[in-house]
Amino acid sequence: MAYNNYRPSQKVPPIVLNLIIINAIVFVAQLVFDSTLGLTNILALYPYNSGLFKPYQLVTHMFAHGGFLHILFNMYALWIFGSVLERIWGPKKFLIFYLVCGLAAGLTQMFFVTTGAAIGASGAIMGLLAAFAYTFPNTEFFILPFPFPIKAKYMAAIFAAFDIFGGFAGSDNVAHFAHLGGLVMGLILVIVWNKTNKKTFY
């Protein structure tokens, strides 16, 4: 995925940078301590009725990942969307947005899925995608394998449709409902915020 007609600032803003660092540290810790401590199982979010759920998991699951490609894609998306949004909103507002979307993702996953565990920043990232698509709907991206650019508003719709289908089909291990929860919360927040602080759309 790459920009066609818009690029984030080359200087990574502080909250985005620190979130990337924290996620990277946790991922390395997973690689080191999973075999002895089962760290991923400690950090993962379990269904509330599983007997394994702990309230802290609503936060910790956002910083654990299931593999290199998982964290790579999420951190790349965090840099792409988050750098722009943090520059617009400022660090405090951006961090609140990110964490609220991640919490909404976890709660949605717990409500719709009663088995298995969920990890990853994808729910919060989907919230960023929704906010970016709402604020910059006509920004174009190249997404493999498509040979043509796709506007942000259509890209968000494609991801949402994929997660709706995947969530109800239940044929893979992806936390589709977490993605949808984060996306919907992100869209709600950005709509509410833009009612009181109008921004130019692109």
If pLDDT is split at 50, 70 and 90, which confidence band does 169 have?
A: confident
- Does the pLDDT at position 7 exceed 70? no
In a domain, residue 82? The reply is: yes
CB 181, CB 109: distance < 8 Å: yes
- Distance, in Å, from the CA atom of 28 to the CA atom of 33, rounded to the nearest integer, reads 9
The number of folded domains in the chain is 1
In a domain, residue 158? The reply is: yes
Give the count of alpha carbons within 13 A of 72, CB side only: 4
Q: Containing domain of residue 118, as a range? A: 2-196
CA distance readout (Å), 199 to 55, 93, 142, 158 = 36, 15, 25, 25
In a domain, residue 201? The reply is: no
Report the percent of the chain where pLDDT is more than 90. 76
pLDDT at 171: 67
Cα 182-79-44 angle, rounded to 5 deg: 45
- Does the pLDDT at position 4 exceed 80? no
Q: For position 149, which CATH number holds?
A: 1.20.1540.10
Say if residue 24 is exposed, middle or buried (CB neighbours under 10 Å; 0-12, 13-18, 19+). Answer: middle
In a domain, residue 202? The reply is: no
